[in-house]
Amino acid sequence: MDRSTSAACGGGPALGAPPLESEEPSQAAGIPPPCPPRLRENRPPPIATAAGDAAGDSDRRRSLVSFLVSALLHAGCLILLALTVFSVRPGPGSARWLVLRAVADGPDLTTEPLVSIARVDPGLRKPDAQLAPLPAEIPDVRPFYEVAKGKKAPFQFGPSPLRLEDWGQPVGGASGGRLEGRNAEARARLAGDGGTDASEAAVERGLWWLAAHQRKDGSWSFDHREGLCRGLCRNPGSNTSSTAATALALAPFLGAGYTHQNGQHRQTVERGLYHLRTRAIVTANGIDLQEGTMYAQGLAAIVLSEAYAMTGDQSLKELAQGSLDFIEYAQDPKGGGWRYNPGQPGDTTVTGWQLMALKSGQMAGLHVKSPTVLLVNRFLDSVESEGGARYGYLDRTARLSTTAIGLLCRMYLGWPQSHAGLQAGIRYLDQSGPSPDDMYYNYYATQVLHHWQGSEWKRWNDRMRDALVAAQASQGHEAGSWHFDHKHAKEGGRLYNTALAIMILEVYYRYLPLYRESWQPE
C-alpha cells in the first residue's frame, strides 16, 4: 500500500474527543406500576341476619372507596414526579447539568459533565458529536482593541530575518515569537500602524458572521446555509471538507487574539478546536487531518499550532505536533513540495499552506526538521522565474497569486531585503496592485508587502484596506461577510471570502513584520 492510500485509509486509530452524550429523561422511566388491590381470599361469614348483612355490605363499600382514592392519589404523585425536570444553571467555573428524576430504585440525582478542550482524552473519531447550540442573537460589535487605544509603549520584535538554523528552535517561547501582536494592548498599537477604526470594526463584524454560521458539532461548512442561516445568505461553496472549512474559519479568531481560553469568542473557538480533534486520525507517520486533501492538513496544522502557541494549552501540543509530523511525511521526497496527496510532486498553492504550518509550529516551540525546510527551497527553485521575482503553479509559468505565495515563502526561508529577486518581486506586486476579486492573491500579497514595509506597503494598504471595508455586506443576514465572484471562490464561497478578508484586515498584528527589529508608533 503506498503512502497516500495508507493515509486515506486512516493507518491507525483515531485521535479525537469522545462525543457528548445526551440522555433525555424518559417520562415513564423508573415509575413502578400502581399496586393492585389486595385480594380478599377469605370468604364472607355465613349469612346471619338481614341487619348484619346490610352492615357488612356498607363496611365493604367504604373500604373499597377509601382504597381507590388512596391508590389514585399515590399514582398521580408518581406521574407528576416523573414529568418534573429541575434544571440548574451552572455557576462560574462549572460545566454540569443537574437532572432530577423519579426512579424505582437507586439515587435520584445524576450529573453529566460537558466537554472542555482541556480535559478531552484521545479516543475514536466520532464526527457526529453534538455541542450546545449557538445563541440565537448576535451581540453588538464591541471591539476589545479600544481598551488600549492611544498607548505608545514600544513593542519589541524577535531577531530578523530568520535563518535556516533557527528552524526547529523556539522563537520567544511557546507564547511569543511572531504572534506577540495578538493581545488587546498590542493589537491596538499595531492596528494604528495602518489600520483604522473602520477596518477594526469590520474585523469584529466579520467574526460575528462566522460565529453565527458555526454548526452544532463545532464545525463550519463551505456550504454555509445550515444552522441559524437557513439559506438566508447567498453564494455557498461546493467543497465538502469540514476540516478545511473549520480551520479556515478559526484562523481569523486566533488572528484577532481570541482563543478557547479568553475573549468574547471563547466558546466558538473551543467548539471549533473540538471538531478538529474529532477529525484527527493517528497514523504511524503523524496525525492525519487531510479529509481528502493536504489543503485541509495545512490549514488545520496552522490553527492547532497557533492555538497552542497563544495559550500554552498542553492538551493541544500532541495534536499540533502530530499534524506537523504528518506534513513532513507527506512532502515530495525528491521535489520538496506538497500537493493534494502525500508524496505527490508539489504545487505552489498547497506548498504555501504547508510551509506556513511548519512556520507556525516552529513559532510555537514545536519540532520542525531542518531537512524538510531545505527541500522547500528546491521546489521553489523549480517554479521560479526572473531570478526569483515570479513564481508559477506547477512550472515556471508565472501567475500573480503564485508569485505572492512564492515570495512569502522565500521571506520565511531567510531571503534578506537586499536579495535582487525579492526586490524585483516587490516591485511587481506594487505595480500590479490589489485585485478587485481574487482574495487568494490579495491575502498572500498583503502579507508580503506588510513584511516589506516602506512606500510599497503604504500604497498597497491604503487601497486594500479601504476597498475591503467598503465591500463588506451591511444588510440582512449577510451583514459582516464578503463575497467576490472569482474562480478561486467557487468551492469556498462566502465563508472562504469572509475568512480571507478578515485576515487581510488583521495583517497589522496577526504576524509581526519580519524585517524590523523594533516598532514604536509615532
Q: Map out the domains of the chain as residue ranges.
A: 50-114, 126-519
Give residue 517's pLDDT.
52
Instruction: Give the three-state DSSP class for 303.
Output: helix
CA distances from 341 to 146, 325, 329, 354, 461 (A): 44, 15, 11, 12, 36
Amino acid code (one letter) for 109 = L
Max CA distance (Å), the chain: 129
> Model confidence over 125-145: pLDDT tens digits?
433 333 334 333 434 444 433
- For residue 258, the surrounding DSSP H or E stretch is none
CATH of the domain spanning 126-519, picked from 2.60.120.260, 1.50.10.20, 3.20.20.370, 1.10.3370.10: 1.50.10.20
* Distance (Å, whole) CA 242 – CA 250: 12
> Model confidence over 392-415: pLDDT tens digits?
999 999 999 999 999 999 999 999
Give residue 192's pLDDT.
75
Question: Among 74, 80, 76, 111, which Cα is nearest to 95's?
Answer: 111
Q: Is the pLDDT of residue 486 over 50?
A: yes
Average pLDDT, the chain: 76
> Model confidence over 354-365: pLDDT tens digits?
999 999 999 999
The dihedrals phi and psi of 309, each to the nearest 5 degrees, come to -60, -40
Q: Is the pLDDT of residue 18 over 50?
A: no
Instruction: Give the three-state DSSP class for 101.
Output: coil
* Distance (Å, whole) CA 391 – CA 398: 5
Q: Is the pLDDT of residue 349 over 90?
A: yes
- For residue 17, the surrounding DSSP H or E stretch is none
- For residue 115, the surrounding DSSP H or E stretch is none
- Which of 63-72, 107-116, 313-322 shows the lowest mean pLDDT across its residues? 107-116
pTM over 0.85: no
- Which of 9-18, 93-102, 455-464 shows the lowest mean pLDDT across its residues? 93-102
* Distance (Å, whole) CA 156 – CA 413: 22
CA distances from 243 to 6, 17, 69, 132 (A): 19, 15, 62, 19
Grid coordinates given for 23: 440522555
Question: Among 433, 128, 148, which Cα is nearest to 279's?
Answer: 128
14, exposed or middle or buried, with CB in 10 Å at 0-12, 13-18, 19+? buried
Residue with cell 512569502: 408
